[in-house]
Amino acid sequence: MKKNKILPILFLGILASTNGFAQNNNPRKTYDDFKKQALQKYNDFRTQANEQYAVFLKQAWEQYNALPAITKPKDETVPPVTIPEEDKNKPIESNPIPIKDVVVPPTPDPQPTPIAPIKEDSQPQERAVEFIYCGTKYQVHFNKDLNLSLHDCNNEQLSNVWTQLSAEGVLNSTIRDCLAIRVSKKMCDWAYLNLLSSFSKAIYGTTNEATMLTSYIFSQSGYKMRIGRNRQHLYLLYASEHGIYEIPYFNIDDLNFYPFECNETQLEICDASFPQEKPLSLFIPQNPKFEYKASDLRTLTSKRYPNVQVQIQVNENLIDFYNTYPASEVNGNFMTKWAMYANTPLDEHVKEKLYPALMDKINGLSQLDAVNKLLNWVQTAFVYEYDDKVWGHDRAFFAEETLYYPYCDCEDRAILFTRLVRDLLGLKTILVFYPGHLASAVCFTDKVAGDYIMLDGKRFIITDPTYIGAPVGNTMPDMDNTQASVILLN
């Protein structure tokens, strides 16, 4: 059955409308008149889209069954290896390493924008709602006269509530405040969705009304969402092109929708869309700026270079955010998940303390000596342990998490190490995946010997943070290079 859709409305007339002002001799007035008319057309566009959506809430529902969740890849784990003492100072030869393929993770798209410009519209009946998300206090304006009521989830009630939410000017300031927080606090899409949920719960608690408010602001912010229901409970479903692990999903029009804070596998879903809506992305191009809550001080010391010792603290509020982050892959390739972690920058608070301390230890050194010191620090300052033993399942770490938690494995070390080399030395790095193991490689601009991978005419020298004590250029024993894949990093 063909489902109802909200069709985009074209605004070619906005540009054409300037013709009516062409004879005006006052340029400022011409611009002001044009701006006023264009804004009105945009307002009409948004109003019409929401009116149509309210109508579809009365009729455009269909039963869906969730598809099985994408299982987290489970690979045979290769244990860490310590290089024999007699091999540490052996001359290193340059040996080319064949690779199976090269994984190029996609570049993140810009974040969604509202379906139409939203005019800031402060009104006397608004109050400032204070709420906390990830240990950080926020304030968003909300119309105190807006009283939503969803005793059940029948079509008529849902349509009426959407009409209340989208009434002219009622939530303009609310949406503007939320979008301003997204920009000023550098929130990725996942952080923004959870921020909206925290705001809505501060007003309505864990209720259908809160879900409806979250869904409305999320959709007006430009995100592709659908509303589902089951047994008098309402749920938000967000679209994503990422393959999210361990969450059953609903495929609607060849796009996967994931239920937010919902474990239901059968839902009746309203499949009506908004113009220009975009899926949620799980890329984190910049760290969210949460209030700083310092973790306990941790001392990390290199075994081979004892002077490379740093004391580090991280933001526990950021760690709390990472604990909610859903692991995923892109384009059906599980190796892309590591690039998402490795390309996420370190938090500024960590950089301010960690980077000067490490730079002090490598200043004036050659590239090779500097990388060897950083490599040995990552190899020996951290305690290796298997994810299954610590977490009960595979879990990759963002760089801050490796600095925070007492244990880490090969993927966590490679992610942290490549982040340090890129930031401190400005050298390009890649991740190298062998079945059961993740290592890394560095593109030196100096001449450096060692096992290497050729990419676009450049040599990337193997640097393995889990081959304990091994210097630059050594591949861990028993690695099958014919099955190795390279994962490119920013």
Q: How far is CA 169 from the centre of its chain?
A: 31
Amino acid at 398: F
CA distance 422 to 446: 15
In a domain, 424, yes or no: yes
Token output for 278:
């975009």
Does residue 170 have a pLDDT over 50? yes
- CA-nearest of 427, 422, 425 to 364 is 425
- Please state whether beta strands 81-82 and 467-468 pair in parallel, antiparallel, or not at all (unpaired): parallel
Range of the domain at 465: 91-108+284-488
Burial of 120: CB neighbours in 10 Å, binned 0-12, 13-18, 19+: exposed
- 319-339: b or e for each residue (b if 16 or more CB lie within 10 Å)? bebbeebebbbbeebbbbbbb
Same domain, 366 and 427: yes
Q: What is the pLDDT of residue 8?
A: 43
Average pLDDT score over residue span 207-223: 97
> Is the residue at 80 inside a domain?
no
Angstrom distance (rounded) from CA 381 to CA 395: 20
Residue-wise pLDDT tens digits, 304-338: 999 999 999 999 999 999 999 999 999 999 999 99
Looking at the fold, whether 62 and 102 belong to one and the same domain comes out as no
Of 244, 270, 296, which one is at a domain's C-terminal end? 270
Q: Is 276 part of any domain?
A: no
Number of folded domains that form the chain = 2
The answer to whether 237 touches 227, Cβ cutoff 8 Å, is yes
Q: Which DSSP category does 120 fall into?
A: -
On whether both 299 and 423 belong to a single domain, the answer is yes
Q: Domain check: are 303 and 349 in the same one? A: yes
Is residue 408 in some structural domain?
A: yes
CATH code for position 293: 3.10.620
Question: What is the pTM for the complete model shown?
Answer: 0.91
Q: What share of the chain is helix, strand, coil (3-state, %, to 5)?
A: 35, 25, 40
Quick one: 186 exposed, middle or buried, by C-beta within 10 A (0-12, 13-18, 19+)? middle
Please tell me the distance from the alpha carbon of residue 268 to that of residue 294, in angstroms, as a whole number. Answer: 44
% of the chain beyond a pLDDT of 70: 89
Q: What number is the average pLDDT over the span 353-370?
A: 97
Note whether 364 and 463 are same-domain residues: yes
Which residue from 225, 206, 251, 214 is spatially nearest to 67, judged by alpha carbons? Answer: 251
Q: Does residue 293 fall inside a structural domain?
A: yes
Please give the mean pLDDT across all residues of the chain. Answer: 90
The residue among 337, 344, 346 whose CA lies nearest residue 411 is: 337
Residue 36 burial (10 A CB sphere; 0-12, 13-18, 19+): exposed
- Residues 180, 323: one domain? no
Residue 86 within any structural domain of the chain? no
What token pair was written down for 83?
């290089």
Does the pLDDT value for residue 10 go beyond 80?
Answer: no
Residue 5 has pLDDT above 90, yes or no: no
pLDDT at 29 > cutoff 80: no
Spatial neighbors of 380 by CB under 8 A, at least 6 apart, are 301, 302, 303, 304, 468, 469
Model confidence at 359: pLDDT above 90 = yes
285 vs 429: CA distance, rounded Å: 18
Q: Tell me how far apart the alpha carbons of residues 59 and 266 are, in angstroms, rounded to a whole number.
A: 19
Domain assignment of residue 209, yes or no: yes
pLDDT at 121 over 70: no
Tell me which residue has tokens 């690779």.
Answer: 99
**Residue 47 pLDDT class (50, 70, 90 cuts):** confident
339, 477: one domain: yes
Q: Give domain status of residue 278, yes or no.
A: no
Mean pLDDT on 93-121: 87
Same domain, 362 and 219: no
Signed CA dihedral, 260, 346, 474, 467: sign only? negative
Say yes or no: 103 and 122 in one domain. Answer: no
Instruction: Give Dmax (Cα) for the chain.
Output: 88
Short-list 253, 280, 284, 248, CA closest to 266: 248
d(CA 73, CA 66): 20
In angstroms, rounded to a whole number, what is the distance separating the alpha carbons of residues 302 and 22? 72
Which pLDDT score is estimated for 60?
Answer: 84
Q: Which amino acid is it at 318? A: L
Q: Which amino acid is at 276?
A: Q
67, 250 Cβ separation under 8 angstroms: yes
Residue 353 has pLDDT above 50, yes or no: yes
Question: Do 237 and 307 have their domain in common?
Answer: no
326's enclosing H/E stretch is none
